[in-house]
Structure 1
């Protein structure tokens, strides 16, 4: 459902935007980060959303690789790390919010895209 919501939000008009945490000028970058992270988690995208690493032996990401992607995304959001020149902070923020929402069981972050219109 989140994958479909992100795709629909990319095509949405300004009147129907649901992502309050994204600067409107960077919606596409943040939504692309959400979409790539969800597709990766579902095994629909072989490339990890930040590192672009691929594990051909495992179609679904392992917990270790998810943790590494979270760290890399957080580093990029904060302006640190090797991906500063590769991804925008908005893209990395979408990836980070998605991975946190999908994997943290205690005090989870809100869903990256509101479930209500």
Structure 2
């Protein structure tokens, strides 16, 4: 069954945003990583992965601009049983793939203009709340 497993926020202050979600809502950090042109910190409430992304100041990548300028909800991810088949269906529906070829997760612009990504099962594992 396909389901939303991840939401990403583009922010202008990674540390302050992290503190907010940890202190106010009790989210726990699961990992922080440098990905291409941004730093991504993953938090969880035990059910969903919340990625807080801060792009490098000098980046001009299409992905960094995909959801708009400044802080925003950048994208959400849908976990799928078969990534290749889902990508074919997305393309057949006329959606534009935003990710570079071969990059997983596969980001695309959905009807209505929002940015979505498809991921294989287990990409965003639930982390237990402590």
Q: TM-score, normalised by structure 1?
A: 0.30
Higher helix share: 1
Higher-Rg member (1/2) = 2
